[in-house]
Amino acid sequence: MEVRKMNVKDPVCGMEIDPKEAAGKSEYKGQTYYFCSPDCKKAFDKEPEKYVSPDHHHHGEHH
């Protein structure tokens, strides 16, 4: 039986990933984003505004 994991979505490619197994992470405007590959992280770091839309603020989570 598989335990349900809390997956997050890679903001660049939209892939669902386990944050513990993410290839990288970046913080932007107080929010942490996780990536499936170094290429997605690189793309996000270069142009974060391109991948972060205003509707991402409904989570209300602060770490």
CATH number where 29 lies: 2.30.170
Q: Which domain holds residue 36?
A: 8-55
Residue 3 inside a domain? The answer is no
Per-residue confidence band for 6, with pLDDT thresholds at 50, 70 and 90: confident
Please choose, from the candidates 58, 4, 6, 1, the residue with its C-alpha nearest in 3D space to the C-alpha of residue 34: 6
Residue 22 inside a domain? The answer is yes
- DSSP classification of residue 2: P
Residue 14 inside a domain? The answer is yes
Structure-derived torsion over alpha carbons of residues 16, 55, 31, 52, reported in degrees to the nearest 10: 80
Return the pLDDT at 33. 97
Do 44 and 11 form a contact (C-beta atoms < 8 A)? yes
Residues 27-58 pLDDT 10s: 999 999 999 999 999 999 999 999 987 554 44
Residue 2 inside a domain? The answer is no
How many domains are there within the chain? 1
Q: What is the 3-state secondary structure (H, E, C) of 3-37?
A: CCCCCEECCCCCCEECHHHCCEEEEECCEEEEECC
Question: What is this structure's pTM?
Answer: 0.75
